[in-house]
């Protein structure tokens, strides 16, 4: 499973949102103080080596784009978390999630409606 650092995930989020981006665009997504361009270049190299992004060479610049979908990345991490922390039990995870995340009544109702909708699809 691919594991990204917090900084890499932050960059990846920007690339997912935009579909593609040049290094100067990525630099703009960071709040001040911005990282050094060498730091950003190192992150992009590591992410390329991990196979989560690639790039097209455009003159002297590289236009980066994602090789994995956001939903695929996070679903693997959620499934891994369920396996490692909840004895591979979705029910234990759901119980923990609904009790410990301090969801409001409205959020619980919305979650219930999503579950009811999925149940109807399975019939």
For the chain, domains (ranges, CATH) are: 6-66 (1.10.10.10), 70-122 (no CATH)
**Cis bond upstream, residue 119 (ω within 30):** no
Q: What is the pTM of this model?
A: 0.72
User: What DSSP string describes the chain?
Assistant: -----HHHHHHHHHHHHHS-EEHHHHHHTSPSSPPPHHHHHHHHHHHHHTTSEEEEEETTEEEEEESS-HHHHHHHHHHHHHHHHSTT-HHHHHHHHHHHS---HHHHHHHHHHHHHHHHHH-
pLDDT in tens, 57-84: 999 999 999 999 999 888 888 888 888 8
* Weakest mean pLDDT among 10-14, 39-43, 81-85: 81-85
Range of lowest pLDDT (3-7, 31-35, 79-83)? 79-83
What gap in Å lies between CA 38 and CA 36, rounded to an integer?
Answer: 5
């Amino acid at each position: 499973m691919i594991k990204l650092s917090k900084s890499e995930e932050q960059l990846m989020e920007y690339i997912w949102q935009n579909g593609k981006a040049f290094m100067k665009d990525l630099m703009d997504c960071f709040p001040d103080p911005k990282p050094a361009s060498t730091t950003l270049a190192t992150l992009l190299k590591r992410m390329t080596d991990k196979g989560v992004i690639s790039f097209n060479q455009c003159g002297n610049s590289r236009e980066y784009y994602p090789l994995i979908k956001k939903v695929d990345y996070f679903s693997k991490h959620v499934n891994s978390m369920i396996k490692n922390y909840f004895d591979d039990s979705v029910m234990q995870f759901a119980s923990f999630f609904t009790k410990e995340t301090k969801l409001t009544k409205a959020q619980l109702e919305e979650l219930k409606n999503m579950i009811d909708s999925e149940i109807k699809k399975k019939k």
